[in-house]
Structure 1
Amino acid sequence: MKEALVASTKKPVKKKNSKRFWFKNLKRLLALFIVCFIAFWILDKVYPLPIDQFDKRSFAQLVVDANGKPLRAFPDKQGVWRYPVTIDQVSPLYLEALINYEDQYFYQHPGVNPIALIRAVGQAAYHGEVISGASTLTMQVARILEPHDKSVSGKLQQMFRALQLEWHYSKDDILTYYLNYAPFGGTIEGVEAASFTYLGKSSKDLTASEAALLAVLPQAPSWNRPDLHPERAKEQRNKLLDRLAEFGVWSKAQVNDIKQEDVWAEYYTQPILAPLLARELIQRYPKERLIQTSIDRTLQTEIDWTVSDYIQGKEEGMSAAVIVMDNDTSMPLVYIGSADFGNEQRAGYVDMTQAIRSPGSTLKPFIYGLGLDRGLIHSESLLFDVPQSFDGYKPRNFSENFNGAVSVSQALGRSLNMPAVQVLNEVSPEYFYSKLTNAGLKLSLPETASPNLSLALGGGGASLQQLVGVFSSLGNDGVATKLRLSEAEPRLQLPLLSQQSSWIVQQVLWQVPLNNQISHRYFSANTPIAYKTGTSYGSRDAWVLASNAKVTIGVWVGMPDGSFSVNNSGRTTAVPLLQRIMNTLPQEWIEPINKPGSVTTATICWPLGTLASLQSKASCHKQRSAYLVDDTAPATFTDPLSSEWSHGLFKVQVDAETGLRVNAQCFDGEVEHREFALWPKSLEPWIAKPYRSDSILPKYAAGCDSRVSLNKPRIKGIDQDSTLYAEPQQDSLPEVQLWAEGATGQLHWFLNGHLLEPSLQTYHRIALKDLNQGQYELILIDETGAFSEISFSVAK
């Protein structure tokens, strides 16, 4: 009863309401979260992210070849190698290795991984030392952004900055910051710089082994530096591989295969290939951090070595420059601005592809090409390689000889000066200058000068880059271009010649062998490429330009300071280097150009120059096979020394009965008018006697030769067919004084074709000195074209 009473007096026990409990705690948690959020928001405003620290870190500039491999790198102002890269530009293999090694839950956590943090704190408390870290990729970016000491306060600061990063930026933004600024040892920052530095390639091209290697490197970049400590680096790489296999990211079989690969790396912070091209590009594009070129790395390396080796055998201070341009893209496959970049003695720092120098004879092909286009000449037109004066301008050949009658193809192939000036005079220097300007080559002239005939022989400045651009027209159907150094520059198509004339000029130049009169172990004959040499005044510049359907090649050799050079010419100095270069080119690049259908081959006749089919047999003294444009064969130019000679036909009156030459003043009988094809008077001293006018024209009838000039030049001081004897015990003849009688104006003396300088021009005298044994022919020509000649010999 008592127990019942006690029981009845006990108060009933109330059960806790679980819903109210969780609601109450949730409210507390929410309140705590709101407080934390407000606190974070306030701190974020008070202590904003110093993200401008990233902005202040400029990137290095990297110039790469056609395949993305580095040519030359330029660090930032602090000397740090850092190349910009985006997530899409990095190998997915690297991203897999990095995220699974550094931060497996990167895309899930808010910047700090609470589970990893609790685990790390617990392990540290249990073991009394740090066993594993809790740092996320975001926290690592925060530490890069704002370095801190290794203390509790420093770690809290790092976590706060990590939360700020996640608050303001996307995961991809944060990952991009890591990819660009992660430390890889010393002055190397970012995966792209590390990849180029240690592996010589872009991070987009990493193999699985290389990706794993770079993923572990930031943990201890100096300790695990792969070029110095490959075994340590390999050990760390393999630990990462085991982890990837454990997580099932990469298969065990794949990981085992990768482990078999050794770690191999070098230190490429400063690659030096095409250095002057790289320098030019970063000056043109200072804001571009990765600049792609079209350089063929293998070819650039081979030709760079070839040029450096070649120039070692040349005189002190001499340099060279080479461009190999792809005709399809107008971009350089090879760009060598100097022979030895690091050689101050040879001014290796000066880019001679841009230097304005006299181009010598390199522009002659375009004189003849424009002459073809204007219908003035064909490939075998008769030209005059004889002394001429063009309003006081009196050019001479490089050899100081004159050759008389030559064809266009001979004049161009042998680079004769007088015929080129003769054709330019017909084309007009102003027209020639304007056509070159429109084709991208504006010749540099003195300030007050206007285009003149000296342009044929290098009387205007041009650069190797400009010359390569216009010379490419011979390999591109007459269309020139402008060399462009990057894809950012537009490709220009600049008409210069017709397809027909460019092919004819190219064909003429192609037939000139590269090894003509030169013996060298590198040479191979009959290289199918059109080329033209050039030598500036004083042998300061030696040039050779070459072009075919695939490439255009430009070579310059000379003194960077423009000083005189000994025995430096296009033929003797530039051509041997071109031949070495040709031997390095892929064989498939050497391809001739197909002949246009409108170019035909026909027989023409000298001296008239027109089609043989349109001439009489008597008028056709010499036949030649010529390339014609649209079946047109222009006549020979008018003789500058004879107004009576008009394209070769000369009309005379003859006695109908005897056939002797007469005129109205001496004959009143029946006459006939006959027409004879004569050679230009200017050429008579050089042609065979049967072709001279005295042999072709009928003789004068008695009493009708009074009009023949009695003042024909005569050489005095030596007789025809005489023999001169040297003094006893002497090998050569002492000085012989000769003079002219009956000559008019300025005289030209030629000994065996070589132009001599008269000793006393006023008295028409010449001195022959140091004549050795042999046969000699002396020709005297006055300014009217009249001439005299004698033959003699020298004996002991």
Structure 2
Amino acid sequence: MGLINKIIPFKRGVIKEWVKKHPRKVLVSAILLLAYYFCLPKDLFVDPTATVIESKNGKLLGAMIADDGQWRFPEVDSVPFKFKTCIIQFEDAYFYRHPGFNPISMAKAVAANIKAGKSVRGGSTLTQQVIRLSRKGKKRTYWEKAIELVLATRLELRHTKEEIIGLYASHAPFGGNVVGLDVAAWRFFGLQAHQLSWAESATLAVLPNAPSLIYPGKNQGHLLQKRNRLLRKLFENGILDHTTYEMALLEKLPRKPYPLPKLAPHLVHYLARSHKGERITSTIDKNLQSNVNVILNKHYQNLKQNQVHNAAALVLDVHTRQVLAYIGNTPTDKDHQKDVDMVHAIRSTGSTLKPLLYAAMMDAGELLPDMLVPDVPTQIAGYRPENFNEDYSGAVEAKKALARSLNIPAVRLLQKYGLERFRDQLNAFHMKGIDKPADYYGLTLILGGAESNLWDLCKTYASMASTINHFNTSSSEYFDQEFTNPILIKGHTIDFGRKSTEKTIFDAGSIYLTFEAMKEVNRPQGNESWEFFDSSKEIAWKTGTSFGNKDAWAIGTTKDYVVGIWVGNADGEGRPNVTGVSSAAPILFDVFDVLPKSDWFEKPLDEFVSVEVCRNSGFLATKDCPKKTISIPDKNNYVEACKYHRMVLLDQQKQFRVNSSCADISSSYREPWFVLPPLMAFYYKKSHPTYKNLPPFKENCKNALEPTMEFIYPKNNAQISLTKNFEGNLNELVLNLAHTKPETSVYWYLDEKYLGQTNDFHELGILPTTGKHTIMAIDELGNEAKISIQVK
């Protein structure tokens, strides 16, 4: 130990002395060392790369070519064993034993080239070839070889052997505009690199040495010889057994390039906006993506017969908010905008916002599920909404109005709730396209007057579904960032925010009741599309159709999944019979059929209380109506008590109403009666045969208590000739009615078609066609007057 302590200071002294004597040598050495250290660029390769999108299991979904027109994928992390073995055996058998160059191979190459008088053999290692690939365009000179040798040794110091062979596999040329192993495997064999056989790996291993050999019809024999020589070497070195070797020799060479997968071309372009040139592992389920593509293509073949060329589909996982399938358009052509991504295209929302209004009113305590909503001819400030089927129900339960997507009840509910109030509430959903004030949309907001896209609508429905799930799986709590964007990149997670007992937008009970209404199947509207519905699956779903049949929507949700479908023409051309029910819903249910079955939502019990409502009207119960008990969200309730039940007095035979002026009240029967206003009753009883009009008063009672009315003009059975004015146009026939109480509202009908309403002054102008007509007037108390006329 003492000897060592003496030697170390001695050596230090010698070194110091030598440095003092040779300062120039030290300076030159330091400069050379620094030059050597920094001689290798930080990034060897700066070429643009393709944008590559893979499924969550690493399967290629699609790619977008690099900016320089080369199919060059981003660098790989690892090289498959078969290809790595083949390339080492073919190019550099001592790869794992040399420091970046092989002096023996170099000497042999120089000797062979001198003897032949030309370059017939190369002595470059794989490391040197990586350097040469990075210094593209340099002439193959001995000086360049020397530079490559120095850089190769520096590369060996900076990278591991596995990283070096990865650089080679990522940047080696494979013929044409194919660069790198991953692209070559797809283009020449239609496989991922790790799926290649020994023969396929050997073929690709010999190609960078002579990439022109791959062109179909050219030098196939030469390529086959090179491949088979390599396979022979693998066999002789004990890497392949005899059977594997013989089988490999039988494999044929590629004859034509394969196209890259195009399972999600619009997703590739969408992600390329923010991840250009990157390899992205997405959240897409490849099998589901393939299945939905097939479903969409099948329906597209039928849709295009009606000159409908575009459609889109989106599938979300409610729990993780991952996008599981993303189909931006059909496989149509450029003339029909095949490249337009309809998942993000802004389109009219149709009726898809109706569930939000239903949930908003339920959440505000201003609506009950069974509450009757008027469905009658309506005019509000000159706006006359119409139901899609141009019919009326008179009165309909709120939940059935939503399930049947009736327009008139939706407009009336929006007016009652408040247009500006609802418009402001929509801001919380962050839906692109809905960016104008309430006055711009008017009441058409709820019928498609607004615009948004499939992405945001599906996001909204998924957030509502997740609200229920989180409420039930937590201590009846909400997350303050529940309504957030879905994710497309694997590894990203949703931050739902902090838990709170305060609702985010709508409470879980209101959303649950909304979904309950949306899953109704037995709907009195008929068989519009319910034949597509598998009753074994409980799905809350909503369709929508924009004005002019330009957009057809269908969005459905279960506890686990949200599926959204849009159908139409990207250029905005409307087509007959393009509706959410007939065009989008069949696709929706076909997609749900390939998804795992989901259980229905658990009822968020902590959000509910029981209340009594009138059985017939759905309003809060009064003493005059038959009652039933329902569960509603626990909040201040602003729904009024039932106004559609009244207590009436009947005679002993229960045939007539009576009062104190014509009967002994003590011997009369008191009975609650369900009475709708005349206009609502007129349409309601057509689909409700059990609805009973109020019995008439006894003749000696009625005049004392009920107002009467009579036609002033025209009289019953009158013959009318319509005259022309100075412009040659027909003058209107003016109907005139007298009422004992003029302030009473009167509703007019021509041949049972509603004409309008009058108040105070009961006059109405009409232009009837030639022939016989029936004119009927009904006042708000149910009194009726009817005449017949003949128009000449």
Fold in common (TM above 0.5): yes
The verdict on how the C-alpha distance between 1:627 and 1:128 changes in structure 2, with shifts beyond 3 A counting, is farther
Name which of 299, 314, 323 aligns with 2:306.
314
1:741 to partner: Cα distance: 1.4
DSSP-derived class of the 2:451 partner: coil
DSSP-derived class of the 2:315 partner: strand
1:364 to partner: Cα distance: 1.6
Checking the alignment, whether the CA contact within 8 Å between 1:402 and 1:753 is kept in structure 2 is: no
1:499 to partner: Cα distance: 4.2
> Equivalences for 1:127-146 in 2 at 5 Å?
132-146=121-135
For 2:263 and 2:217, locate their aligned partners in 1 and report how far apart those are by CA, in whole Å.
21
Bigger drift between 670-679 and 57-66 goes to: 670-679
For 1:752 and 1:525, locate their aligned partners in 2 and report how far apart those are by CA, in whole Å.
42
AA aligned opposite 1:684: A
Aligned partner of 1:741 in structure 2 is: 737
AA aligned opposite 2:169: L
Aligned partner of 2:727 in structure 1 is: none
For 2:93 and 2:771, locate their aligned partners in 1 and report how far apart those are by CA, in whole Å.
95
1:188 to partner: Cα distance: 1.5
1:357 to partner: Cα distance: 2.5
Checking the alignment, whether the CA contact within 8 Å between 2:182 and 2:192 is kept in structure 1 is: yes
> Equivalences for 1:6-405 in 2 at 5 Å?
42=32, 45=35, 49=39, 51=41, 54-88=44-78, 90-123=79-112, 132-146=121-135, 147-150=137-140, 152-153=142-143, 155-166=145-156, 171-224=161-214, 235-252=225-242, 254-256=244-246, 258-259=248-249, 261-263=251-253, 267-268=257-258, 271-286=261-276, 288-290=278-280, 292-296=282-286, 297-315=289-307, 319-340=310-331, 342-344=333-335, 346-388=336-378, 394-405=384-395
Name which of 591, 607, 628 aligns with 2:631.
628
How many residues end up aligned between the 2 structures? 720
AA aligned opposite 1:628: S
The verdict on how the C-alpha distance between 1:460 and 1:215 changes in structure 2, with shifts beyond 3 A counting, is same
Aligned partner of 2:485 in structure 1 is: 482
The verdict on how the C-alpha distance between 1:581 and 1:101 changes in structure 2, with shifts beyond 3 A counting, is farther
Checking the alignment, whether the CA contact within 8 Å between 1:715 and 1:738 is kept in structure 2 is: no
For 2:416 and 2:230, locate their aligned partners in 1 and report how far apart those are by CA, in whole Å.
78
Aligned partner of 1:568 in structure 2 is: 578
Checking the alignment, whether the CA contact within 8 Å between 1:610 and 1:634 is kept in structure 2 is: no
Aligned partner of 2:625 in structure 1 is: 619
1:664-691 deviation per Cα after TM superposition (whole angstroms, max 9, x unaligned): xx99999999784442425233355995
1:136 to partner: Cα distance: 0.5
Checking the alignment, whether the CA contact within 8 Å between 1:472 and 1:552 is kept in structure 2 is: yes
Checking the alignment, whether the CA contact within 8 Å between 1:396 and 1:418 is kept in structure 2 is: yes
DSSP-derived class of the 1:222 partner: helix
For 1:258 and 1:396, locate their aligned partners in 2 and report how far apart those are by CA, in whole Å.
71
Name which of 544, 549, 553 aligns with 1:539.
549
Aligned partner of 1:491 in structure 2 is: 494
The verdict on how the C-alpha distance between 1:754 and 1:194 changes in structure 2, with shifts beyond 3 A counting, is farther
Q: Are positions 1:549 and 2:549 aligned together?
A: no
The verdict on how the C-alpha distance between 1:648 and 1:512 changes in structure 2, with shifts beyond 3 A counting, is same
Aligned partner of 1:5 in structure 2 is: none
For 1:91 and 1:76, locate their aligned partners in 2 and report how far apart those are by CA, in whole Å.
24
Structure 2: tracts of 5 or more residues without a match: 1-23, 470-482, 497-502, 721-730
The verdict on how the C-alpha distance between 1:652 and 1:635 changes in structure 2, with shifts beyond 3 A counting, is farther
1:77 to partner: Cα distance: 2.5
Name which of 658, 661, 667 aligns with 2:659.
661
DSSP-derived class of the 1:351 partner: coil
AA aligned opposite 2:181: V
1:404 to partner: Cα distance: 0.6
1:306 to partner: Cα distance: 2.6
DSSP-derived class of the 2:306 partner: coil
1:560 to partner: Cα distance: 2.9
1:771 to partner: Cα distance: 8.4
1:779 to partner: Cα distance: 5.2
AA aligned opposite 1:661: N
Checking the alignment, whether the CA contact within 8 Å between 2:346 and 2:433 is kept in structure 1 is: no
Structure 1: tracts of 5 or more residues without a match: 1-33, 639-645, 725-734
For 1:65 and 1:215, locate their aligned partners in 2 and report how far apart those are by CA, in whole Å.
27
AA aligned opposite 2:130: V
Checking the alignment, whether the CA contact within 8 Å between 2:710 and 2:738 is kept in structure 1 is: yes
Checking the alignment, whether the CA contact within 8 Å between 1:653 and 1:672 is kept in structure 2 is: yes
For 1:589 and 1:304, locate their aligned partners in 2 and report how far apart those are by CA, in whole Å.
19
1:102 to partner: Cα distance: 1.8
1:91 to partner: Cα distance: 2.0
AA aligned opposite 2:291: L
Q: Are positions 1:683 and 2:680 aligned together?
A: yes
Aligned partner of 2:765 in structure 1 is: 765
TM-score (norm 1): 0.75
The verdict on how the C-alpha distance between 1:321 and 1:64 changes in structure 2, with shifts beyond 3 A counting, is same
AA aligned opposite 1:766: I
For 1:306 and 1:628, locate their aligned partners in 2 and report how far apart those are by CA, in whole Å.
43
1:623-656 deviation per Cα after TM superposition (whole angstroms, max 9, x unaligned): 9x99633799989757xxxxxxx53354689999
1:70 to partner: Cα distance: 3.3
For 1:194 and 1:49, locate their aligned partners in 2 and report how far apart those are by CA, in whole Å.
31
Q: Are positions 1:648 and 2:640 aligned together?
A: no
Q: Are positions 1:583 and 2:590 aligned together?
A: yes
AA aligned opposite 1:182: A
Q: Percent identity?
A: 26
For 1:336 and 1:485, locate their aligned partners in 2 and report how far apart those are by CA, in whole Å.
13
For 2:521 and 2:350, locate their aligned partners in 1 and report how far apart those are by CA, in whole Å.
18
DSSP-derived class of the 1:108 partner: coil
AA aligned opposite 1:180: S
The verdict on how the C-alpha distance between 1:690 and 1:533 changes in structure 2, with shifts beyond 3 A counting, is closer
TM-score (norm 2): 0.75
Bigger drift between 327-336 and 590-599 goes to: 590-599
Aligned partner of 1:418 in structure 2 is: 408
For 2:690 and 2:85, locate their aligned partners in 1 and report how far apart those are by CA, in whole Å.
91
What's the RMSD between the two structures over aligned residues?
A: 5.1
AA aligned opposite 1:589: P
1:386 to partner: Cα distance: 1.8
1:266 to partner: Cα distance: 5.4
Checking the alignment, whether the CA contact within 8 Å between 1:652 and 1:661 is kept in structure 2 is: no
Name which of 603, 609, 613 aligns with 1:596.
603
Checking the alignment, whether the CA contact within 8 Å between 1:367 and 1:432 is kept in structure 2 is: yes
DSSP-derived class of the 1:62 partner: strand
The verdict on how the C-alpha distance between 1:701 and 1:395 changes in structure 2, with shifts beyond 3 A counting, is same
Checking the alignment, whether the CA contact within 8 Å between 1:401 and 1:753 is kept in structure 2 is: no
1:444 to partner: Cα distance: 1.4
Checking the alignment, whether the CA contact within 8 Å between 2:459 and 2:485 is kept in structure 1 is: yes
Checking the alignment, whether the CA contact within 8 Å between 1:757 and 1:766 is kept in structure 2 is: no
1:435 to partner: Cα distance: 4.5
For 1:508 and 1:39, locate their aligned partners in 2 and report how far apart those are by CA, in whole Å.
84
1:79 to partner: Cα distance: 0.9
1:764 to partner: Cα distance: 0.7
Aligned partner of 1:729 in structure 2 is: none
The verdict on how the C-alpha distance between 1:285 and 1:513 changes in structure 2, with shifts beyond 3 A counting, is farther
1:545 to partner: Cα distance: 1.7
1:166-197 deviation per Cα after TM superposition (whole angstroms, max 9, x unaligned): 46655455334322221111212122232333
AA aligned opposite 1:321: A
Computing the radius of gyration from Cα coordinates, the structure with the larger value is 1
AA aligned opposite 1:315: Q
